[in-house]
């Protein structure tokens, strides 16, 4: 039970309260049983930031993992991640203060629901390429610092707050795992691994209970790219039999997903032909391989050139973008963890 007479994390702070004589609580952005996120004003800089708190009594210390990962990324100038401006521990909770972000990529997609009669919300291709490149850069830097994300999906990326529409942030590092040893060598895969992630965006090997590697993060990234481009993934209609455990669901889904992916033409149906090249690159990846980031960027740049896009081409949610008015309704990301180890398929 949470401390403080059963108080949840959301009840530990209130509007106007000042933490460490520096951060003034403005409002709550999101909450869970043991954690909550608040928008705060930094008295030192006048800037609005996000404060994540976690009750000290919980054994599930995702915030500790997040602090460790983000500190490492910040120290090494990683791209597309929030900047930490404060970390601390109080009697009842610990906290981290970081960059306040805009809507998640998933929320931006959902805001376009009325624009597509088939219900398959999607971005214009230029936006897909832009988000695809920046989101892969974020993973490349995460991997370069020795971590796997293990829950890559549109919900865990966000745009910047106006006017920083072109900023893309990778979020939610609570499930990250070190894949390298202290000496820099790669850790060997464990024989038995519990499922971690979101079934709908998880790689086939992850669903089959295998140890995740860098390639698995990039597979999930590729699923996200396809989802943004055509509005769905080929396994959208799949559902497990009732009463299945998460492990059984994952295994069955992995077999189904694997069969679809083997047929590359069907897998990337409706996408630009360049997506088939990316699929083939990923299919040739082994557990210890470094993902072909540079080759994927090259493929996406070639697609940009073929379509005649340049860097100034507006994104859907920018002021002059195709869907700016609709995406204005997308709520800012509440920066709460999203479905760690969940059994939901997490359909969009």
**Are residues 306 and 246 in contact, defined by beta-carbon separation less than 8 angstroms?**
no
pLDDT at 344: 38
As given in the structure block, the two tokens for residue 299 are 């493929």
pTM: 0.93
Beta bridge partners of 214: none
Question: How would residue 59 be classed by pLDDT, with cut points 50, 70 and 90?
Answer: low
Q: Which fold has domain 105-327?
A: Transferase(Phosphotransferase); domain 1 (1.10.510)
Q: Summarize pLDDT for 94-117 with one digit per residue, the tens.
A: 999 999 999 999 999 999 999 999
Gyration radius of the chain's alpha carbons: 20
Question: How would residue 6 be classed by pLDDT, with cut points 50, 70 and 90?
Answer: low
pLDDT at 338: 61
Q: Report which of 158, 305, 282, 304 is spatially closest to residue 213, judged by C-alpha positions.
A: 282
CATH of 3-99, one of 3.40.50.720, 3.30.200.20, 3.40.50.300, 1.10.10.350: 3.30.200.20
Q: Summarize pLDDT for 299-332 with one digit per residue, the tens.
A: 999 999 999 999 999 999 999 999 999 999 999 9
Distance between CA atoms of residues 75 and 66, nearest Å = 14
**Are residues 65 and 174 in contact, defined by beta-carbon separation less than 8 angstroms?**
yes
Q: What is the dihedral of CA 199, 202, 205, 209, to 10 degrees?
A: -40
Percent of residues in the chain assigned helix, strand, coil, to nearest 5: 35, 15, 50
pLDDT at 254 over 80: yes
User: What are the sequence ranges of the domains in the chain?
Assistant: 3-99, 105-327
Helices 125-144 and 293-307, axial angle in degrees (round to 10): 160
pLDDT at 3 over 60: no
How far apart, in Å, are the Cα atoms of 266 and each of 54, 77, 346?
Answer: 44, 39, 22
Q: Report which of 185, 246, 177 is spatially closest to residue 212, judged by C-alpha positions.
A: 177
Distance between CA atoms of residues 90 and 92, nearest Å = 6
As given in the structure block, the two tokens for residue 326 are 């609709």
Catalytic residues: 151
pLDDT at 239: 87
3-state secondary structure (DSSP) of residue 92: coil
Beta bridge partners of 52: 37, 96
Q: Summarize pLDDT for 174-185 with one digit per residue, the tens.
A: 999 999 999 999
Q: What are the start-end ranges of the E strands in the chain?
A: 18-19, 23-31, 35-42, 48-55, 84-89, 93-99, 147-148, 157-159, 168-170, 177-178
As given in the structure block, the two tokens for residue 245 are 């455990």
Mean pLDDT of the chain: 93
Q: Report which of 37, 36, 33, 35 is spatially closest to residue 50, judged by C-alpha positions.
A: 37
pLDDT at 339 over 50: no
If one counts every other C-beta atom within 10 angstroms of the C-beta of residue 300, the result is 22
As given in the structure block, the two tokens for residue 220 are 């999930």
Question: For the chain, how many residues are written?
Answer: 348
3-state secondary structure (DSSP) of residue 327: helix
């Amino acid at each position: 039970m949470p401390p403080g007479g059963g108080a949840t994390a959301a009840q530990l702070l209130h509007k106007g309260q000042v933490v460490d004589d520096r951060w003034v609580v403005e409002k709550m952005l999101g909450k869970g049983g043991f954690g909550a996120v608040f928008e705060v004003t930094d008295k030192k800089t006048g800037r609005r930031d996000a404060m994540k708190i976690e009750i000290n009594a919980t054994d599930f210390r995702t915030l500790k993992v997040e602090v460790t990962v983000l500190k490492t990324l910040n120290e090494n100038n990683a791209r597309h991640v929030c900047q930490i401006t404060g970390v601390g521990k109080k009697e009842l909770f610990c906290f981290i203060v970081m960059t306040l972000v805009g809507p998640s990529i998933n929320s931006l997609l959902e805001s376009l629901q009325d624009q597509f009669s088939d219900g398959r919300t999607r971005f214009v291709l230029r936006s897909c390429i832009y988000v695809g490149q920046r989101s892969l850069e974020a993973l490349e830097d995460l991997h370069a610092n020795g971590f796997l994300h293990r829950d890559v999906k549109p919900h865990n990326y966000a745009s910047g707050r106006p006017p920083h529409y072109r900023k893309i942030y990778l979020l939610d590092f609570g499930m990250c795992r070190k894949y390298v040893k202290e000496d820099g060598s790669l850790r060997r895969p464990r024989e038995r691994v519990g499922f971690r992630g979101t079934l709908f965006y998880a790689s086939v090997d992850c669903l089959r209970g295998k140890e995740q590697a860098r390639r698995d993060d990039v597979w999930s990234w590729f699923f996200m790219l396809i989802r943004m481009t055509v509005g769905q993934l080929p396994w959208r209609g799949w559902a497990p039999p009732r009463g299945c455990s998460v492990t059984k669901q994952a295994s069955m889904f992995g077999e189904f997903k694997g069969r679809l992916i083997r047929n590359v033409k069907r897998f990337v149906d409706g996408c630009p032909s360049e997506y088939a090249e990316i699929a083939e690159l990923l299919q040739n990846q082994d557990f210890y391989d470094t993902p072909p980031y540079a080759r994927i960027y090259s493929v996406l740049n070639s697609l940009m050139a073929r379509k005649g896009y340049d860097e100034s081409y507006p994104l859907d949610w920018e002021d002059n973008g195709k869907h700016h008015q609709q995406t204005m309704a997308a709520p800012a990301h509440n920066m709460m963890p999203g479905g760690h180890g969940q059994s939901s398929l997490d359909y969009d």
